[in-house]
Amino acid sequence: MFKFLFGAKDKAPAVKQETQRETVERAQRELNEILATLSPKARVTIYPEEGTLTVELPEQMPDEAKALPAPEATDK
């Protein structure tokens, strides 16, 4: 009778579970998008025996350089 006021009490829409394949494909796509924008490029090492990889980032990332405090002035 009051559905128009309070809305229908239907069940919440089911959230689609991501399969393992979809998770890996999404993570790989996101990682590739990020790595493509880096300059200098990161070093990626793959360990097939373990099924892992490592990403070696440069010592200083471009966005981190912007966040550094200004150098202190030296009195001479």
pTM: 0.58
Peptide bond into 69 cis (omega under 30): no
Which residues of the chain, if any, have pLDDT below 50? none
Alpha-helical (H) ranges within the chain are 3-6, 20-37, 62-66
Closest CA to 40 of 55, 50, 20: 55
pLDDT attached to residue 14: 80
Q: How far apart are the first and last CA of the chain?
A: 84
pLDDT attached to residue 58: 84
Q: 61 burial class (0-12, 13-18, 19+ CB within 10 angstroms)?
A: middle
